Structure 1
Amino acid sequence: MSTKRLIPLYTVSDNPSEVFSTRFSPDGKLLAAGCGDGTIRVYNSSNGRLAYELRSSKVRESMPVTGLRFRPIGASKTKNVLLAVNANGSVSHWHVTSGKCLHTIKDEHNQLYCVDYRPDGTIFATAGKDFTVRVYDEATKTLMTEMRSGIGHVTPGHSNRVFSLKFNPTDPNIMISGGWDNTVQIWDLRVEHAVRSIYGPHICGDAVDIYDNRILTGSWRTKNQLELWDYGSGEKVEEIPWSQSVVHSSTPAMLYSAQFSKGTAGMIAAGGTGSNEAKVFDRNAGNKLIGTVAGLSRGVYTVDFDPLGRKLAVAGGDTAIRILGIERKPMDSGAATTPRPHSFEGKDGEGKDDYGPHSPIHDDEASFDIGHFGAHK
């Protein structure tokens, strides 16, 4: 049996704009950040150094980049293709390493907030302000279908803005989505409408995920923020308690982002505003808290695990991008105490963090002291 702990690796503190979406590349070597100034900044994930900047030459593209997804490996011979949606309604394919925009689709009179690829990369879907889930063919970039409704009054589809959208990794015909209308809709591409719905979660960011017959939701509210639901029945199976902040003990968290780790790593990460923090939980240990990133001056809008579940990106309103390592150590069978979750506190005020913008923080006891993790621009 092993135990997990968080280790702060580095902080990108020279990013000039708030971050709405982060995404590791399929090989884990790159980390893309969708920013409020309309720019996508792509960093080397090993050291946090800026590698590429992607930005449209059109003036209106300065609206925020709200969602990012790398195209899955195997979908095409061309690697490092990044799909981005923007609050101006555009959907753009970027070739990261050349800096070229390969294709742009404009969803006129709409704002887009979320995007996802089917696991095989052959189709992708978008959603946003107009309550509609649109599905596109990746090869031709043409619209395949628009899904708005469900089965009459039983599952009517969305009635307000949609902020999160995910394909089921084990069923290529199924998607789930969530938004302001306090529902999670389950869509079936074969019938082109919603077939089931879950009532309750209030989704305001990329805070819906699905893995191993469980749906994860992170709600922007002060109670029942982090919940697990059974995919088959739609019944809630567990609420993961969000304990008081280690810094803002009187301020509850309201979540903008929630995610399962990829593969079999067995973790959940979530973050939000109010208490301005992110937490990581261990699914293999009864959703026990692994650690917290707390004390930030602004809220957390996005979290993302790398493909192997060894790193976590945390970013949001304070413009900094924090990368944490997730270390697994064998648990001493004779130990009688439970490992204490680690907490990392951001600093108020201006200036870079104590270790510089790119310096790795080594695995020593000082790394875990409150006050040694975080940065502001």
Structure 2
Amino acid sequence: MEKLNNFTVLQPNNVNRKMYDKGIIGDGTSAVQSVRFDPQDKYLAVGCEDGSIKIFNVSNSKLVYTLNQRRNDGSGEEEKRPSTCIRWRPTGASARTKNVLISVHADGSVQHWHTTSGKSLHKLYSNHNQLYCADFSPDGRFFATAGRDLIVRVYDETTKAVVTEFQPGGAGSPGHSNRIFSVKYNIQEPNILISGGWDNTIQIWDMREGCAVRAIFGPHVCGDSLDVRDNVILAGSWRDKEQLQIFYQGSGELINTIDWDGGVGIKRSAEPCQVYAAQYSKHDVGEMILAGGSKSNEARAFDTMNYNKPFAAIMDMPGPVFSVDFSHNGALAALGCADGYIRLLTISKTV
């Protein structure tokens, strides 16, 4: 057991991976809605409930840039527009400008930022909408957004024009019938993206068909809790049971429900964890899973090469975990938390 301030890392014996605390960063002024390492693992971007986006240097955990999305509406009070999701543009994108990220907000805005200069490069609005999620295509040519109006919109990154709108469903039709909280591209199939939300479905969209080609029923997605590797979908659900599951993308068949406690010596929480965020590791084709949420206010890391057994539990946090991210090299993990702090963890593989 390892304890730092207000969180604890627990690990069972005889596991192939170890996780250690690297520290807590942030100022605790606003709940963290989204965290993302940049493609070079040099920076960690943090989207906050007050609308600001903070960029930290990963090597020393220092705040180096602040991109402030707040505005004054004339009343003397700054309007809060939570930064609900952030994504770095992939390094393979054809655009010459590097260090670019997008942020989406609860007022329906989408913002492109050049992080190292602090400049706003472009802003667009999804009118009369609230946006909760976004993702870039693997090559950076497109980005997708979704939220309250049930439409998944795909934009051309160069022109910023909508190229496809995946429409809501109804009366048994494919598509969403309630708010969408996660959208994710399949990095191995760039024409495929998935989305999930409050309607207890995962929709699988095909850019070539212009519609949903399959729906998976069951997961209750309330945050950035979808991912896909090798055509296997990871889904985190905000509920007491069966909160972490994996499915075949091709058939929609359930492969496995992951045991949160795993039966390998990790202390069982007094309360179940209702999952807000879940992700596969990036560098090793998904050999690890990280997930976190509310009620028990904890996160767990799982080894997909060892029957999805948990190899670490991050516990005793004062509030929910809203976002998780692995570094691209797999050596670090970040937890974005409701108390306005980010918990950083290092990961090592034992021989």
TM-score (structure 2 length as normaliser): 0.90
Take 2:71 and 2:159, find their aligned partners in 1: how far apart are those partners?
A: 23
1:91 maps onto 2:110 in alignment: yes
Equivalent residue number for residue 375 of structure 1: none
Take 1:13 and 1:263, find their aligned partners in 2: how far apart are those partners?
A: 26
Q: Quote the offset at 1:63 in angstroms.
A: 1.2
Deviations 1:63-104 (A, max 9, x none): 110001000002122111011000010000000000000000
Change (3 A) 1:191 1:94: same
Take 1:156 and 1:13, find their aligned partners in 2: how far apart are those partners?
A: 41
Equivalent residue number for residue 269 of structure 2: 249
Partner SS, residue 309 of structure 1: coil
Equivalent residue number for residue 262 of structure 1: 282
Matches within 5 A, 1:5-44: 5-44=18-57
Deviations 1:1-45 (A, max 9, x none): 981100111211424110010000000000000000100001001
Q: Does the CA-based 8 Å contact 2:43-2:56 persist in structure 1?
A: yes
Q: Does the CA-based 8 Å contact 2:50-2:70 persist in structure 1?
A: no
Greater displacement, 42-51 / 57-66: 57-66
Equivalent residue number for residue 325 of structure 2: 304
Q: Quote the offset at 1:106 in angstroms.
A: 0.8
Equivalent residue number for residue 58 of structure 1: 71
Q: Does the CA-based 8 Å contact 1:155-1:196 persist in structure 2?
A: no
Greater displacement, 85-94 / 57-66: 57-66
1:199 maps onto 2:212 in alignment: no
Deviations 1:207-262 (A, max 9, x none): 01100121000000000000000111101000111129977833111000000000
Give the residue type in structure 2 aligned to 1:127: A
Q: Quote the offset at 1:47 in angstroms.
A: 1.8
Take 1:197 and 1:24, find their aligned partners in 2: how far apart are those partners?
A: 30
- From 126, 136, 143, give the equivalent of 1:117: 136
Give the residue type in structure 1 aligned to 2:305: N
- From 177, 180, 185, give the equivalent of 1:162: 180
Partner SS, residue 109 of structure 1: coil
- From 208, 219, 228, give the equivalent of 2:226: 208
Partner SS, residue 284 of structure 1: helix
Q: Quote the offset at 1:155 in angstroms.
A: 4.6
Give the residue type in structure 2 aligned to 1:50: L
Change (3 A) 1:197 1:99: same
Take 1:86 and 1:14, find their aligned partners in 2: how far apart are those partners?
A: 21
Equivalent residue number for residue 4 of structure 1: 17
Give the residue type in structure 2 aligned to 1:307: H
1:49 maps onto 2:62 in alignment: yes
Change (3 A) 1:23 1:41: same
Say what the alpha-carbon RMSD is for the aligned residues. Answer: 1.9
Identity among equivalent positions (%) equals 49
Take 2:84 and 2:49, find their aligned partners in 1: how far apart are those partners?
A: 8
Take 1:200 and 1:32, find their aligned partners in 2: how far apart are those partners?
A: 31
Partner SS, residue 305 of structure 2: helix
Q: Does the CA-based 8 Å contact 1:248-1:295 persist in structure 2?
A: no
Q: Quote the offset at 1:312 in angstroms.
A: 0.3
- From 199, 224, 240, give the equivalent of 1:222: 240
Change (3 A) 1:277 1:329: same
Q: Quote the offset at 1:308 in angstroms.
A: 1.1
Take 2:225 and 2:40, find their aligned partners in 1: how far apart are those partners?
A: 23
Partner SS, residue 68 of structure 1: strand
Matches within 5 A, 1:139-178: 139-149=158-168, 155-178=173-196
Take 1:249 and 1:92, find their aligned partners in 2: how far apart are those partners?
A: 39
Structure 2 unaligned spans of 5+: 1-13, 74-78
Q: Quote the offset at 1:281 in angstroms.
A: 0.4
Change (3 A) 1:182 1:84: same
1:77 maps onto 2:90 in alignment: no
Take 1:57 and 1:317, find their aligned partners in 2: how far apart are those partners?
A: 19
Give the residue type in structure 2 aligned to 1:281: F
Q: Does the CA-based 8 Å contact 1:2-1:328 persist in structure 2?
A: no
Give the residue type in structure 1 aligned to 2:275: L
How many residue pairs end up in the alignment?
329
Take 1:248 and 1:291, find their aligned partners in 2: how far apart are those partners?
A: 12
Partner SS, residue 350 of structure 2: strand
Take 1:237 and 1:138, find their aligned partners in 2: how far apart are those partners?
A: 35
Q: Does the CA-based 8 Å contact 1:30-1:42 persist in structure 2?
A: yes
Q: Quote the offset at 1:193 in angstroms.
A: 1.0
Structure with a larger share of its residues in strand: 2
Take 2:15 and 2:187, find their aligned partners in 1: how far apart are those partners?
A: 27
- From 276, 279, 293, give the equivalent of 1:272: 293
- From 135, 138, 141, give the equivalent of 2:157: 138
Q: Quote the offset at 1:263 in angstroms.
A: 2.7
